[in-house]
Copies of this chain bind each other. A is one copy, B any other.
């Protein structure tokens, strides 16, 4: 079976979209055949994204141009909600935005400042290690998780499912700057403003909060920060637990069959997973205060976006889940 799956990437000049194109170049069974861009239609993809060696030509999106087996939507909130109901008649859809992640439309409206307008259309939340893979396999519309929820939930859920959590988990999360996307042009995203900096942001009410709480089933305190590097995401979870015994064993057992989750002994750096679809997790327990301290690292654009989307596509297409996905990081 060689490159029989045809793929469209809608919004291919953003970071997640271009990352999909890059990753698919080494996927043995799938090929990107359509790429779109609202701003740059008519140009070559490589002109807008000089890191991509490709002869693909950017088109203007409308549902009618899509004939591919899978369509990846890499657009701002609102876009998928508008187009998915139509698109899923022609193609299986993997949406990298937040539009179909929250089951409660009121929460969506509260956090995204727009009503949920795609009533009747539902997505399957695609965090393979933590949900029912059969639902993913059968999905017409896959809601690809956010980067922070991926890094947080992979660290938190073993404690939750073991019934150990006794208080509000304190989630102190840090992301590389690419999480802000490629289209934000405010002064604050300039190289000279961020290089050598580090700061918290969106301390109250970050949009990923309800997405995490939906799966975790408990309220969380969530504080994101910006790391002065383009890629990578670290989450430090501080969780009061009823027992801190054998946490490492608990995590190893929980993830023993997971090719993309790695329980480690030494505190992991985001750098060791950059470019890979891996999540490294280091659990520990602090007797002094009764807190479990769990750290996780992912590449926000791979396991936190494009890589996980391909992992979901592999499941949906009946392929081995790891097909075409890098397991080692790019270092140094």
Contacts and interface: CB of A to CB of B under 8 A. Distances in A.
Q: How many chain copies does the complex carry?
A: 4
A192 B168 contact: no
Interface string A206-243: 00010000000001110101011111101010100000
B182 A185 contact: no
A199 B269 contact: yes
A228 B274 CA distance: 14
Given A172-B238, A221-B238, A332-B195, A204 B327 contact: no
Contacts of A195: 177, 191, 195, 228-230, 271, 332
A50 B280 CA distance: 10
A198 B326 contact: no
A193 interface: yes
B172 A236 contact: yes
A291 interface: yes
B26 A326 contact: yes
Given A189-B190, A190-B189, A286 B22 contact: no
B50 A232 contact: no
A303 interface: no
Contacts of A227: 198, 227-228
A8 interface: no
Q: Report the contact-size class of chain A (Cβ under 8 Å from the partner).
A: 35 or more
B199 A15 contact: no
Interface in A256-271: 262, 264, 266-271
B267 A51 contact: no
A267 B192 contact: no
Most chain B beta carbons < 10 A, residue from A220, A232, A264, A269:
A269
A193 to B, nearest CB: 6
B49 A331 contact: yes
Given A198-B227, A203-B267, A182 B178 contact: no
Nearest to A172: B172
A273 interface: yes
Return the 9 tightest CB-CB contacts between A and B, nearest first. Answer: A197-B271, A51-B329, A192-B332, A172-B172, A199-B269, A51-B331, A230-B332, A197-B269, A51-B272
